[in-house]
Structure 1
Amino acid sequence: MSKLVSIGECMIEMSALENGLYKKGYAGDSLNMAFYARAFLPQSVSVDYFTALGDDGESEALAQSIQNHNIGTDLIRFLPGKTPGLYMISLDQGERTFSYWRAMSAAKEMARDMAHLERSLLGADKTLFFSGISLAILQPDTRDQFLTLLEKAKSDGQKVIFDSNLRPSLWENRDEMADWTAKASAVSTMALPTVPDEYVLFDERSSEQVAERYLRAGCSEVVVKAGPGDALVTNGTEKEWVGPPAPISPVDTTGAGDSFNGGYIAARLNGKSMVDAAQFAHKVAGQVIQHRGALVSEIKSLVQ
């Protein structure tokens, strides 16, 4: 059995309904990806979530929610005195803004125990996924050892997949964010960056420039996402532009990039070509943005 391990932070999600009401759920970029990958991967591929939670009732409920999505929780550590983070989504004509409360989030400590990292993440049968958020939330003194472990995984032949998913508010400054994003790209085999964030951070003006930077860093496969625009997929030899099947008016763009990631990764692990995988990922994301919230439970039946 092969394994996909998604590394990051799952939070309590408060998503806007109508009349000022909110619905509670549990989500986060790395969990969202795992949710959509699980929907389209065969049961012979296990999907596990690596994070840390607290010892409160919400942590217990969150872990149960992950299990209910058929995502493994054996790699989760439960830390005394900690809690999950919380975020609130506000919508304006389908576009979202976020407010966060994560000072006591247990996930900030998920890379503290090196032995636990090695037991959980190293292994020839494991494909690893992490994001810029996974890296940004870590305590600064644990980021180096986290990336050192991912570098070992890559050198041992494991697939290491990175979505830069830039959140400037999580970093001290632009230079720090750029430096750690570059370090993360160097330990990855596949990158799934999104424009225009990368344009702003690295002063680039085209998807080709973004892709070239990740290839130079050592990634062997890059998908530069552009929201509703065409994605650029390349392995350094082949290069193709892949667009969505049709324009869509979004209801809620929360989870659009994460669902694209999950669809793409699942398709690639299922043996699809880069182009076919990108076409499939566009279909998945196109369905997700027509629903509210990050996780669409009926996604498999919606994507034909």
Structure 2
Amino acid sequence: MRLVSVGECMVELSADPDAQGRLRQGFAGDTLNTAWYARACLPAQDAVDYVTAIGTDPLSQAMLDFISGAGIGTDWIRRDPQRAPGLYLISLTEGERSFTYWRENSAARRLADDPAHLVTALCGADLAYFSGITLAILPPEGREAFLAALADTRRVAFDPNLRPRLWQSLTEMREWTLRGAAAAQVILPSFDDEAAAFGDADPAATAARYVAAGATEVVVKNGGSPMAAWCDGAPVPLPPVNRLQPRDSTGAGDAFNGAYLASRMHGASLPDAVAQGHAMAARVIDHPGALMPMECISANTAGRVEPIRGNV
């Protein structure tokens, strides 16, 4: 099995819990985060590849080494000598995160400049994954090229991950979100974002809108509140989950996506895959930053998240 994730990895700055007033540097980004947690859940013989563009500077090389060191394939990451990675700063208020970004000259904005490279990178993937941020950072011609490159991919998953500040207007964001959804079979939206952007009354309305756009599988995340899911033409009942107080909610939705997709790739039912997604997200919100170290995650070869004793 092979999963290919496409998007932007950035330099992450967050408060160092062990040194007040200092910042800790890491690397993260929504599509890399999902690839990271999928890699943690998938058996070793499965491949997880990341597709993006980075610079040729030392920080870009450190990013490349970091991704490769996690067992995520880097063969399809393009190098751009004229650009460097974007950067973001995490701010926390009672565990809920907000971000400040510096990404205008990010190399990842040019990841679709070579459409043939994209097509080759996606060739043979059992599942391709991208997000609304993947689309938002690209120029319009890059979005067109990227969606065209997905056309022959066996199965595509999409998290709209709506970020209005990345778009020229709400109308543009809505249009490209629905175009992205039309290129995918699996949609993993977050209800609070969708309600703000589309006026959805409840998660069921969000699911219905994406089913109408052509999705065959929709799971609407809702931060520990009641969710909605739809698969193969019918709604899927989901059991309630406990809402937890996060230490740091950064990356929780991406972690859910990674565990969910890994479970589905290996034949788990939709409700069981949702349970695995929740188990991973619950682990992540108790950890600072978007990415838990791989050694703190334990999963068996069926993509199930196993509990670990001690602190993570």
Deviation at 1:110, TM superposition (A): 0.3
Deviation at 1:140, TM superposition (A): 2.1
Deviation at 1:230, TM superposition (A): 2.6
Deviations 1:127-168 (A, max 9, x none): 100000011001222111211222332xxxx11000000111
For 1:128 and 1:253, the matched residues in 2 are separated by 25
- Stretches of structure 2 that go unaligned for 5 or more consecutive residues are 300-304, 308-312
For 1:296 and 1:86, the matched residues in 2 are separated by 19
- Aligned counterpart in structure 2 of residue 289 of structure 1, from 282, 285, 289: 285
Deviations 1:67-90 (A, max 9, x none): 111100001000112100000001
- Stretches of structure 1 that go unaligned for 5 or more consecutive residues are none
For 2:122 and 2:82, the matched residues in 1 are separated by 25
| SS state at 1:151 partner | coil
Structure 2 counterpart of 1:105: 106
Contact 2:182 2:214 in 1 (8 A): yes
Contact 1:151 1:188 in 2 (8 A): no
Deviation at 1:199, TM superposition (A): 1.2
Structure 1 counterpart of 2:73: 72
For 1:16 and 1:263, the matched residues in 2 are separated by 26
Contact 2:204 2:229 in 1 (8 A): no
Deviation at 1:247, TM superposition (A): 3.5
Contact 2:109 2:138 in 1 (8 A): yes
TM-score, normalised to structure 1, is 0.95
Residue identity over aligned pairs, in percent, reads: 45
Matched, 1:176 2:179: no
For 1:20 and 1:92, the matched residues in 2 are separated by 16
Deviations 1:223-277 (A, max 9, x none): 0000121322211224213433x33221000001000000100111121000000
Amino acid at match of 1:248: L
Where in structure 1 do 4 or more consecutive aligned residues deviate above 4 Å? Answer: none
For 2:306 and 2:87, the matched residues in 1 are separated by 30
Contact 2:119 2:150 in 1 (8 A): no
Structure 2 counterpart of 1:299: 297
Deviations 1:163-216 (A, max 9, x none): 000111100010000000010010101000001111121121011111111111
TM-score, normalised to structure 2, is 0.92
Amino acid at match of 2:139: Q
Deviation at 1:21, TM superposition (A): 1.5
Superposed, 1:184-199 pairs within 5 Å as: 184-199=180-195
Structure 1 counterpart of 2:56: 55
For 2:161 and 2:172, the matched residues in 1 are separated by 15
- The aligned length equals 297
For 2:121 and 2:6, the matched residues in 1 are separated by 10
Superposition RMSD in Å: 1.3
| SS state at 1:293 partner | coil
Deviation at 1:299, TM superposition (A): 2.3
For 1:195 and 1:108, the matched residues in 2 are separated by 27
| SS state at 2:191 partner | coil
Structure 2 counterpart of 1:254: 250
For 1:100 and 1:14, the matched residues in 2 are separated by 10
Contact 2:132 2:161 in 1 (8 A): yes
Contact 1:231 1:278 in 2 (8 A): no
Amino acid at match of 1:108: R
Structure 1 counterpart of 2:302: none
For 2:56 and 2:133, the matched residues in 1 are separated by 23
